[in-house]
Chain A
Amino acid sequence: MATLELRDIRKSYVAHEVIKGVNLDVADRDFVVFVGPSGCGKSTLLRMIAGLEEITSGELLIDGKRVNEVGPADRGLAMVFQSYALYPHMTVRQNMGFALRMAGIAKAERERKVAEAARILQLEPYLDRRPKELSGGQRQRVAIGRAIVRNPRIFLFDEPLSNLDASLRGQMRIELARLHQELDATMVYVTHDQVEAMTLASKIVVLQAGKVEQIGSPLELYHHPANLFVAGFIGSPRMNFLEARILGADGGGVRVALRSGAEIVVPAAMGGAQAGGTATLGIRPESLRPDPEGPIAGEVRLAERLGGLTLLHVTLAGGEPLVVQIEGGDRTGAREPIRLAVDGAACHIFDESGQALPALERHPLAA
């Protein structure tokens, strides 16, 4: 059992506050991912959990016990660093056994645990090599192995895949997901890559400028982003944002008008928004489809053909840009006029302060 609680955690350097009060509950076996743009404080937050950075104020609880003053080695955590931070002068075996040696664990026991971790990670043939004789992926696995042998209460990962090439990254992502299941461990993971966040997390924490923007499951964030920032950060290609005017609301939802005059009804409640006010309409590229009868008109400027699917970069009549994701077999090409239809249920309205209007119904996968 391992739970982690953050109670109004703050961090300041001199007068500059970089973490501005984070509250978070991590349940046992959760896979929590911190995402956000660089400089949002996600790594700092992780290092505070690890004990590598002092906590300026707030409380950090592991299994219900305050650990603010506990040293990093005594929190029962293990961390995988971005650079892997393998000890270059030690063999793989020594690297993985180092923490146990420091903890004064007998050699036989150490050997057993290292062998076990090596088996899980398929590192057995490399146990007597030094880090510089290993490939990037193997180093990565040693770093994970070093964490596993300690049998930690919580695993911490600081952008562990960012130094790998794209194909290896995909492979390691799957391996990490498998490890999470196999080890039944609680994991906290930092990344700036929203694909990693979506695929690995049971819970995503979106951070910006030291503040939590939203916490939720990946599909919750995808289908019900709380604000413009989260909506723009989660999902690839990025959500389209169009300027809109709120016309009013009825039982079916909120009716908005685009700059071109096209009207769309989105099943949401007015919340704090006022009829007649300006708003932003969010439409994911995958929710748009070409339709000769569609209300949105524009011209295709560029077609990015990825094979299985094609991304159309469209300029609307009013000049606004829009990305549309269509089937790879579609022949629509550049410099062609296009009309687009959209399902209002897949759209999002954000009020003037950027907050999403509450949806009338939750998406079935994001309950």
Chain B
Amino acid sequence: MRTTGRQLLLITILGWGVALLLFFPIFWMVLTSFKSEVAAIEVPPRLLFTPTLESYAEVQARADYLHFALNSVIVSVGGTVLALALGIPAAYAMAFHPTRRTRSTLLWMLSTKMLPSVGVLVPIYLLFRTFGLLDSRAGLVVIYALMNLPIVVWMLFTFFKEVPGEILEAGRMDGARTGAEFWHLLLPLTVPGIASTGLLSLILCWNEAFWSLNLTSSEAAPLTAFIASFSSPQGLFFAKLSAASTVAVAPILVFGWLSQRQLVRGLTFGAVK
């Protein structure tokens, strides 16, 4: 593209303007979390102030952050690993050994994802109660794996589809049977795809707030529940709310930033050819 100096300036201002605008609520949240409660509701708000950690201390005193964070890590990683373990073989089979039913199977899997969770909340709640899974991490892991399985299978399927057929045929000519083909050729070729699928699944699990709010209370409650407990404060405690929000979001946000290149590359769902 030929860009004149003026156009470049315009684009730079627009690009940064939009980026800062979109990021502003997060920035403001972090900023407020370092204010005292009084400073937080000052009108007009001040950008320069003496930062304090008192809100963080109070949040920690009211609810054990690490307990919730640990739950978030366990259920997110657990759900993702389980979904990948189920999804990789299925996506592999559908991508490389398609049958007449493959297409409809895949679309059916996706359509289960459109089933609103809320439509099945009551029976799942009752089933969980019956089997003693309410407020258990194991229960949430299973739910998260099932919830993300269709998306995981679909993403993996599109990645596997991108592997050039001739490479696998070369492998077959070279004597690689199904197992060897998978370990020596397919897995190394699709590690980036599997990684970005896992990343997306982790993010979705971490931020999931329907099942975690409805199926957990204290023991297995992840950070989404932690934060919800600050949603109806007696009076307005902006600084505390911001501090709690910041610690709930920070891990996945930093993780997301670090892995965004990987995620951007993978998050195409086969939409880019």
Contact = CB atoms under 8 A, between A and B. Distances in A.
Q: Do chains A and B touch in the complex (CB under 8 A)?
A: yes
23 contacts: A50-B173, A51-B173, A52-B169, A52-B173, A72-B169, A72-B172, A72-B173, A73-B173, A73-B175, A73-B176, A74-B175, A77-B173, A81-B170, A85-B170, A86-B170, A87-B167, A87-B171, A88-B167, A89-B189, A98-B184, A99-B175, A102-B174, A103-B175
A232 B172 CA distance: 38
A82 interface: yes
Interface of B: prevailing SS? helix
Interface in A58-103: 71-74, 77-79, 81-83, 85-89, 98-99, 102-103
Interface in B136-177: 164, 166-167, 169-176
Interface in A309-338: none
Given A102-B174, A102-B180, A81 B185 contact: no
Contacts of A150: 174
A188 B190 CA distance: 33
A98 B171 CA distance: 8
A74 B177 CA distance: 11
B188 interface: yes
A99 B176 CA distance: 8
B148 to A, nearest CB: 27
Interface of B: 164, 166-167, 169-176, 180, 184-185, 188-189
A88 B173 contact: no
A51 B175 CA distance: 12
B185 to A, nearest CB: 6
Contact of B188 (A71, A78, A89, A103): A89
Most buried by A among B166, B175, B176: B175
Contacts of A52: 169, 172-173
Q: Which 7 A-B pairs have the closest CB atoms?
A: A73-B175, A99-B174, A85-B166, A102-B175, A85-B170, A89-B188, A81-B166
B189 A88 contact: yes
Nearest to B180: A102
B175 A83 contact: no
A79 B170 CA distance: 7
B185 A87 contact: yes
Contacts of A73: 172-176
Interface of A: 50-52, 71-74, 77-79, 81-83, 85-89, 98-99, 102-103, 146, 150
B56 to A, nearest CB: 45
A115 to B, nearest CB: 18
A52 B169 CA distance: 7
B127 to A, nearest CB: 44
Nearest to A71: B172
A338 to B, nearest CB: 50
A86 B176 CA distance: 14
A98 B174 contact: yes
B225 to A, nearest CB: 42
B166 A83 contact: yes
B184 A78 contact: no
Contacts of A102: 174-176, 180
A108 to B, nearest CB: 19
Nearest to A143: B170
A232 B54 CA distance: 89
A50 B173 CA distance: 8
Contacts of B184: 98
Nearest to B163: A88
A4 to B, nearest CB: 16
B233 to A, nearest CB: 53
A86 B101 CA distance: 31
Contact of A78 (B164, B173, B176, B180): B173
Contacts of B174: 73, 98-99, 102, 146, 150
Contacts of A78: 173
A82 B170 CA distance: 11
Contacts of B169: 50, 52, 72, 79, 81, 85
B192 to A, nearest CB: 11
Contacts of B167: 85-88
Nearest to B167: A85
A190 B180 CA distance: 29
A79 B169 CA distance: 9
A249 to B, nearest CB: 53
A85 B188 CA distance: 15
B188 A79 contact: no
